[in-house]
Amino acid sequence: MSQARRPFVLVTGLSGAGRATALHALEDLGYVAVDNVPLPLMSDLMRSTAGSPGELAAPLAFGIDTRTYGFDAAELVRRMQELRQRPDLAARLLFLTADTETLRRRYTESRRPHPVAPDRPVMDGIADERDQVGFMADSADVVIDTSALSPHRFKEILSGHFALGRSPATRLSVVSFSFRRGLPREADLVFDARFLKNPHYVPTLKPLTGRDAAVVSFIETDPDYRAFIDRLEALIGPLLPRFDAEGKSYLTIAVGCTGGRHRSVAVAETLADWLRKAGRSVTLSHRDVDFGRGRQGG
């Protein structure tokens, strides 16, 4: 709210990818959130929420997609290009997407027709809409794939990108994961810890996680562990000031192993602790720490 330029987020993307959830999260962050804003009325609505002269204008978040009256993807991209040039506005375009199977499942569970093809199968609507709006992702400031995100993780990522009053330094998220379950789609940097000694094969360590001291001590006996951590720090450390200078608001660093329970968790904990000691704002999450229980890997 204290920024000289008024924060403005336009939320768009594929139907079913989480636009309503995103707007609720932005509202919780302090934005005035309005859904289904017709493009011709967008400027009027921005003016009407600007407040009295001398007052701080409220941050805005508008939701616009194919369900919105008069929607035109090309015109929306053009309007955003104009808004980004305004000296009084910090305008950003958020594009939400998800894989086809996830969208199909969400529509099947909700038993709602797809807005692009209300009289045809849901899969037709998903394909048609992707053809209509997919190109907008190339013009977006932030693209989030919500396919594998929990609501909590989704809101955490939104907060990282759009929290108000944050410092100019890039906010960081460190995530551990299982390669068996696929890469985190929000990851910017990915590191592989599968070469380290695996606690999964030690009966007393198998039920534990990389947050337990015994597991950490075991992994640290790997002769390559310390060199790996040192090289991670040597690689990431010089990058962060460059991300700051580029104005990147949020960076996700992902560390994976086979099961996502032992090695990746331990390395992620160590990395997050180092970043915090360096004065960085860090969130830490372990995506698959429970998934790895009882399976091969760690």
pLDDT in tens, 33-53: 999 999 888 888 888 877 666
- Contact at 8 Å (CB) between 88 and 60? no
Asked if 150 and 18 touch (Cβ cutoff 8 Å), the reply is: no
138 Cβ partners below 8 Å, 6+ apart? none
At how many degrees (to 10) do helices 225-246 and 263-277 cross?
50
Q: Per-residue DSSP letters for 170-193?
A: PEEEEEEEEGGG---TT-SEEEE-
Q: Residue 283: which pLDDT band, with cuts at 50, 70 and 90?
A: very high
Eight-state DSSP code of residue 295: S
- Look at residue 62 and tell me whether its pLDDT is greater than 90: yes
Over range 287-291, report the average pLDDT.
86
- Please tell me whether residue 7 adopts helix, strand or coil conformation: strand
The pLDDT tens digits for 81-138 are 999 999 989 999 999 999 999 999 998 888 888 888 888 988 999 999 999 999 999 9
Enumerate the domain spans of the chain.
Answer: 6-150, 171-286
Confidence of residue 290 (pLDDT cuts 50, 70, 90): confident
Give the DSSP per-residue string, 73-128: HHHHHHHHHHHHT-TTEEEEEEEEE--HHHHHHHHHHHT--BTTBTTS-HHHHHHH
Instruction: Output the pLDDT for position 1.
Output: 38
* Range 6-150: architecture per CATH: 3-Layer(aba) Sandwich (3.40)
Place of tokens 């995100």: 149
Can you read off the two tokens belonging to residue 256? 């994976």
DSSP 145-169: E-TT--HHHHHHHHHHHH-TT--SS
The pLDDT assigned to 53 comes to: 67
